[in-house]
Structure 1
Amino acid sequence: MRVFVLGGTGSIGAAVVRELVARGHEVFGLARSEASAAKLGEFGATAIAGNIAFPAPSSPESWIGELAGIDAVIHAACDFSTDMEATERRLLDALLPALARQANKPRFIYTGGGWLFGATGDEVATEQTPFNPLSAFAWMVPHLQRVLAAPGIDGIVIHPAMVYTPRGGVFHRVFREARERDAVRVVDSEAVRWPLVHGEDLADLYALALERAPAGSSYIGAAIAGLPVGHIARAFAKRFDTSHQDPRIISTDAIAAELGEWARGYALDQRLNGAKAQRELGWRPKHLDPESEIATLA
């Protein structure tokens, strides 16, 4: 397939691009800088210059015309600014009609998120669980519903759990603090559970959804239902011999003041179920022991 990826150099999109190229798909990626274009080229993708943000000259109107003949779009871009909702709305306003006008019926894989399900506690959220979104991302719900209902495309939604690599994704802050601070900070409580998925496993899920998922379907991308964040913090502190092995607890308000309202998600105690993707798409996550991966970090 000819696949266009938004966010193809980000924490999710880069792994998706590499996976699609490895599977033999022809991949195009949006590049807002020469560095991004070079990175996409290293992955084996073709860069299209542009940005998801407005105004012109690099806004969607400037590059949407280059998508003729595209079989699918994977949207894995996210701007953590206060303009997230407006940027997304304007992007969909331009992109969805353009895709619907194509002679073929392209697939559109939209990225939701585990934080849309809110704190679940001991319950395990599935695709049937009502949304209870973190306020900073509540705008995503009507947008993903719009994608699923849009005429002229086959909309599909993936809700990633908290995406990690041993030193990247949601682990990046913990990794950095274990090396640079005297203690790793944990938001709210060591007992807060994070549902997790390794970036490579998530990329495999996107590829399987591209190739096999029915139109209108949604999937939770969780390989690990919920791991207490204290286990993660202690694994990093042990690996890097941090001065204080016990995590330092900070408040949700403190992390929000430091990083933005979206960071309140670090305090959500969640469990998510990825069984539907395994059952329907044959998804088989391989990274199921992050603590061992942390222990072997160089």
Structure 2
Amino acid sequence: MRVLIIGAGGYLGSAVAERFTGLGHEVVALVRPGKEGESGFETRTGDLADPASLTAAVTPDIDAVVNLATPSGDADVDAAAIAALTDPLRGTGKPFVYTSGVWVLGATDGADESAPTNPIPIVGYRPVIERQVLALADAGVRAAVIRPGIVHGRNGGIPALLVDLARKHNAPVVVADSTVVWPTVHVDDLADLFVKVVEAAPAGTIWHAITEPAVSVLDLATAAAQAAGVSGDPVIWPLAEAEAALGAPFAEALALSQSITGKGARADLGWNPQGPSATADLSAGSYR
């Protein structure tokens, strides 16, 4: 299978590209003009703000498209990009996978894929894009949405920020509230789910990429401090101070408490996560 990946050079995209390649699939990376030699894969050039370039990249030899690009922040630009990437797939039954995230659900307690969206500002328009993707099922595209939890592993993602904060404050740091919990997933397990969704997910489906439904952020921060080689009593970072340092939308996201299940992919796609827990990964794994 030849898989066009948008965002193959990113934290998650590189893991997904590696997983597809390891299973014998051919990865084609969509890159911006001038970046052709940097991906290590066959490339096509395109820009999310240039819909024509995206459509041109989805040639008939492409068997699947996986969109791992960071949203632009402009709903119209992102909607046009989705349309451009999927127009060549209409009527083919080929898969298109869009990467969303659990923040579209807002504060939750045990939510599954059927829960209504209630997005926080940082992902305010993303449910609209999700609906655009899912509607492609009626146009003969095997479209699906993956919502990862907080991704950890390979010394990256938001947990790396917790390590940096612990190092800066010389103590574990939690934004706003020590009772917050996050749903988490290891980046390699998440990459495996992308492959399974491309290979077998029915059209018009949503999948939660969650291995741990509700991990204490206080525990994560404590493990991050261990990775940073510091100790001390946890520091509760007032939301206003975090907003000033990180920007209000992102700080609010870090203070969001969510408990979310991810049983559907295990039951229906045979997803079998193998990665370490988030706290173990931080305290004794890739972040050390």
The question of a shared fold, defined as TM-score above 0.5 by the shorter chain, is answered with yes
The Cα shift of 1:170 comes to 1.4
Match of 2:86 in 1: 96
Match of 1:61 in 2: 52
Aligned counterpart in structure 1 of residue 238 of structure 2, from 222, 247, 251 = 251
The Cα shift of 1:271 comes to 0.8
Is 1:234–1:245's contact at 8 Å kept on the other side of the alignment?
no
After superposition, give the CA deviation of every residue in 1:79-106 in whole Å (9 maximum; x if it has no partner): 4x6x342331221242232332xx7332
Alignment of 1:210-221 (within 5 A): 210-221=198-209
**CA spacing shift, 1:99–1:254, aligned 2, 3 Å:** farther
Is 1:73–1:109's contact at 8 Å kept on the other side of the alignment?
yes
After superposition, give the CA deviation of every residue in 1:55-113 in whole Å (9 maximum; x if it has no partner): xxxx231242132121111111114x6x342331221242232332xx73321111121
Match of 1:227 in 2: 215
Separation (CA, whole Å) in 2 of partners of 1:137 and 1:238: 31
2:10 aligned with 1:2: no
Letter in 2 for 1:89: A
Letter in 1 for 2:135: A
The Cα shift of 1:188 comes to 1.3
Is 1:74–1:110's contact at 8 Å kept on the other side of the alignment?
yes
SS of 1:30's equivalent in the other structure is strand
**CA spacing shift, 1:33–1:183, aligned 2, 3 Å:** farther
Match of 1:27 in 2: 27
SS of 1:133's equivalent in the other structure is coil
Match of 1:145 in 2: 131
Match of 1:14 in 2: 14
Deviates more, 1:25-34 or 1:111-120: 25-34
TM-score (ref. length: structure 1): 0.87
Separation (CA, whole Å) in 2 of partners of 1:187 and 1:201: 27
Separation (CA, whole Å) in 2 of partners of 1:152 and 1:260: 40
Q: Identity across aligned pairs (percent)?
A: 32
Separation (CA, whole Å) in 2 of partners of 1:241 and 1:33: 41
SS of 1:255's equivalent in the other structure is helix
Letter in 2 for 1:98: P
2:257 aligned with 1:266: no
The CA RMSD measured in Å over matched residues stands at: 2.0
Aligned counterpart in structure 2 of residue 115 of structure 1, from 103, 107, 128 = 103
Separation (CA, whole Å) in 1 of partners of 2:229 and 2:160: 17
The Cα shift of 1:33 comes to 6.2
SS of 1:271's equivalent in the other structure is strand
Is 1:224–1:288's contact at 8 Å kept on the other side of the alignment?
no
Match of 2:115 in 1: 129
The Cα shift of 1:39 comes to 4.5
SS of 1:62's equivalent in the other structure is helix
Separation (CA, whole Å) in 2 of partners of 1:231 and 1:68: 47
Aligned counterpart in structure 2 of residue 49 of structure 1, from 41, 45, 50 = 45
2:72 aligned with 1:86: no
Letter in 2 for 1:255: A
SS of 1:109's equivalent in the other structure is strand
The Cα shift of 1:258 comes to 2.8
Separation (CA, whole Å) in 1 of partners of 2:37 and 2:152: 24
SS of 1:237's equivalent in the other structure is helix
Separation (CA, whole Å) in 1 of partners of 2:51 and 2:67: 13
Unaligned runs of 5+ in 1: none
The Cα shift of 1:185 comes to 2.7
Separation (CA, whole Å) in 2 of partners of 1:50 and 1:66: 7
The Cα shift of 1:153 comes to 1.3
**CA spacing shift, 1:39–1:164, aligned 2, 3 Å:** farther
